[in-house]
Every structure is written in C-alpha cells, then in structure tokens.
Amino acid sequence: MFTQEFWVNRAQFPHEELAKYRGQWVAFSPDGRRIVDSATTLEALEDGLEKAGEDAQHLMFEGVPGPEDDTYLGAEELR
C-alpha cells in the first residue's frame, strides 16, 4: 500500500522533528512527509484520527521509542 515515495520521505524525515514524539505513537501521512497526529497509546491515536475524520487505513502508524526505552530511533534517524 505504501509507495516508494513514502519510504524515501520517511527515511528523510527530520530526526529533530521525530524526537519531539519520543514515547508516543505517530501516524505518518501517505507520502511520509508529515505526522498527521500522535498520542501516548495506539488506541488514543486511532480515536483521535477518527474524531478528526482521518482515514487511518491511509496512514502509517509507528511507535517512537521513549528516552526510558532500551531501544533507539532507527538507523535512518541517527544522522
């Protein structure tokens, strides 16, 4: 469902911008250029998108590791 354009843009998404969402779930736009919404839980994200009239099936959900997590942002984020 997601195009090469999405993956290229997602890989180029600014690390500083994504870091603002540490410990949250985010929904990326279909082209991977922006975060449509975020929330601390996946359920809250889905609820917020529904209330905003967004079609979640056209968005990519991603969990962003928090500062207390043992994992780090992906390699593409470590520029």
Q: Per-domain residue ranges for the chain?
A: 4-65
Tens digit of each residue's pLDDT (9 = 90 or more) over 18-58 = 999 999 999 999 999 999 999 999 999 999 999 999 999 99
Tens digit of each residue's pLDDT (9 = 90 or more) over 3-17 = 899 999 999 999 999
DSSP SS3 for 37: strand
Query: Which tokens hold the place of 7?
Result: 């993956």
Which pTM value belongs to this model? 0.82
In which residue are the tokens 């099936």 written?
Answer: 57
Per-residue pLDDT, 40: 96
